[in-house]
Structure 1
């Protein structure tokens, strides 16, 4: 499993969450909403350091990661973080 973050999504994190080199961005499972993978569960994001990261990718010195306890959600899919211009927020694609 890998995490991919588009350049435009990276800019959103920088602009909206004041992400700087050395910061961590966590993708976590939350109850509520829905996703193509699971009804009633969706992804949340937080700017926080990992406890037990199982997957991470470093882009421009920013660490994007998923904790081990949330890995079940992805069911073997890679996470692609894009930017939705109409909603002005990140959007997620899951690909095997």
Structure 2
């Protein structure tokens, strides 16, 4: 499972969620009950700003900011890589997620 964050998404997280390289805060991605993604029905992707990141299953550092998925949440992402991007023309208020089959299933 790969997690990739674009430069535009990193900037969005810095501006909207107040994370930066000089803080210990990190962004955690996880699955939550209810909703829908392109690959899940009944579950949606969620994110949170965490002050004490731990239990890393997948971890990516981008411009000094940590983005991660906990080991206990890897079930939600199994079989897919996740790309996180931001495009103000697509949705000025949110990041976008792209799921890519990685052959794990």
Give the TM-score, by structure 2 length.
0.84
Structure whose CA Rg is larger: 2
Q: Aligned equivalents of 1:69 and 1:30: distance in 2?
A: 12
Alignment deviations for residues 22-70 of structure 1 (CA, whole Å, 9 cap, x no partner): 4311001111210122101111111113231110010111110001111
Gaps of at least 5 residues in structure 2 are: none
Deviant stretches of 4+, over 4 Å = none
- The number of equivalent residue pairs is 96
The aligned counterpart of 1:19 is: 19
The answer on whether the counterparts of 2:31 and 2:46 sit within 8 Å (CA) in structure 1 is yes
Q: Which has the larger share of strand?
A: 1
Q: Aligned equivalents of 2:26 and 2:18: distance in 1?
A: 11
1:93 has 2:98 as partner: yes
Gaps of at least 5 residues in structure 1 are: none
